[in-house]
Amino acid sequence: MTIRELRSGNKLAVSVEPVTDEDFKKLTVKRYFFNWKKLKGQPLLFKLVHPVSGDILGLMHLLDFPQEDRIEVKLLAVSVENKGVGKHFDRIAGNLIAFTCRLAIAKYGYKACISLIPKTELKPHYIRAYGMMDAGLQVYLDGRPLFNLLKKYIQ
């Protein structure tokens, strides 16, 4: 998994890891757009970590629906300095979504599905940028599109 530093164009290998109790000291609403401390103790909380500084560049909370062979991205956030025009790094959200694809495949095999409920204004972005399909309230990936996204981000 790699992110791209926009100023230099350099690619950096990153990792996605479980959020630790120690991380919650750094997770502010101002930087990550949500009070992540509310989720302390919840399973399936992950962070995307900068390879050199160890800085948390993105976060997500997942929900598992075994009866549907599906993992839902309940919350996804990139750090404030990596959002929109002027961001430092690209591919943070895509790597988090691809990590979710990998988890779903490991658990559900060829039946794997991931989904999320986007803010209305972000729905076209998820469809365009990640190849997600519209399912009304949710967007989702399964089958070939899920494997295509995984291939694009996991190398």
What is the pLDDT averaged over residues 137-148?
Answer: 95
CB 79 within 8 Å of CB 56 = yes
Spatial separation of the C-alpha atoms in residues 14 and 109, rounded to whole Å: 24
Reduced DSSP (H G I as helix, E B as strand, rest coil) percent helix, strand, coil of the chain, to 5? 40, 30, 30
pLDDT of 89 > 70? The answer is yes
Tell me the residue ranges of DSSP E strands in the chain: 2-5, 11-13, 15-18, 45-49, 56-65, 70-78, 89-90, 113-116, 133-135, 138-142
CB 140 within 8 Å of CB 115 = yes
pLDDT of 155: 67
pLDDT of 51: 87
Domain boundaries, the chain: 2-153
What is the pLDDT averaged over residues 4-12?
Answer: 92
What is the pLDDT averaged over residues 136-152?
Answer: 94
pLDDT of 66: 97
Residue 153: how many other CB atoms lie within 10 Å: 19
pLDDT tens column, 9-60: 999 999 999 999 999 999 999 999 999 999 999 999 999 999 889 899 999 9
Q: In CATH, which of 3.40.50.300, 3.40.309.10, 3.40.630.30, 3.40.190.10 is domain 2-153?
A: 3.40.630.30
pLDDT of 148: 93
pLDDT band at 121 (very low <50, low <70, confident <90, very high): confident
What is the pLDDT averaged over residues 72-85?
Answer: 93
